[in-house]
Amino acid sequence: MSVDWEQLLTIDCGKVAELFVQQKGFSDTKIQVRGYTLPFVGTQQKWDALLAFLRKQLLKYVFPEQERPDNIDWALARDKFGNNDPEKDGKLGEMLLYVFVEAFLKTPLMAYKLKDLSNPNDQVKGADGVFIGEYQGQKALLIGESKIHKTLASAIKSTLESLQRFHDNAAPYANELLVAKKYPKERGLKGESLDTILAILDRSVDHILVHPVFVSYDLGKIGEISEKSNDSYSAENALREILDREVTDWKTKIIEKKNIFPKPFQVFLDFFFLPVEDTLNLRKHFYELLHGHPYIGTKANGINKGD
């Protein structure tokens, strides 16, 4: 009897699929690249529906089932995101990684490190997401990375540099798995599901390692499309034509880093690209949605404490 991984998902996959427009991607040996965009509403790309979904999903993302009673206060999850400068905070990218991996790879989240932060203004150490399930028909441990950058080139370089560092240092890898072992029980898992997950974390059963990667960056051409289009249909078609060419750039910028950062290419890489018109505005709007007001940094001794 095999584990029904989809039963362990905390995401409504159908709702997530409605939030994005799937674009062209590519596969190259152990590299999978998937492109997505936000839909146009009229002649403008909107992220309101996505942010509203993230807000509703917050409790399930922060707390495992055993620590999430029906009457739990949503603000407890919101507070775990801290009061950080949205330009520097990485938690939005980590949550989007979770959304894409659960919804499109159908592999459930198995680490809830955000809930254990003693200081919510700290950044989560280690992997941006730990997931376990099946990938291409094999048992798999998925250790994720997320990057929201102004440029595509810097996002990809930073991603592969982080993953190379992860592989070069055995201690963080071992510690990641050790910490993750407590979370399946906090989810209330038992029987074969629990045994299989713990066996993968103990590395006592054969499995593959996958790095799912979420990348978002500024694509200024989206604003140009809004200026020139008369309706959502023409806007979507114009963006699709641009991204059919953009996917070549994704591929080139990934492959050209192979000689510099070879270790990540020894395992499976699965990229989710979400180009938007302005990543900083996306970050700011997410902060405002959580806190009800724009970010206001505080300064003491000339040092910004917003990060």
The rounded radius of gyration (Å) of the Cα atoms in the chain is 19
Say if CB 185 and CB 194 are below 8 A apart: yes
Higher-pLDDT residue of 298, 28: 28
Note the pLDDT tens digit of each residue in 169-226. 877 677 778 888 999 999 999 999 999 999 999 889 999 999 999 999 999 999 999 9
Tens digits of residue pLDDT in 18-33: 999 999 999 988 999 9
pLDDT of residue 305: 36
Distance in angstroms (rounded) separating the CA atoms of residues 131 and 239 = 32
Q: How many residues does this entry show for the chain?
A: 307
Residue 52 has pLDDT above 80, yes or no: yes
Predicted local distance difference test score (pLDDT) of residue 82: 86
Query: Whole-angstrom Cα distance, residue 286 to residue 297?
Result: 16
Choice between 117 and 186, residue whose per-residue pLDDT is larger: 186
Q: Identify the pLDDT of residue 217.
A: 97
pLDDT of residue 141: 95
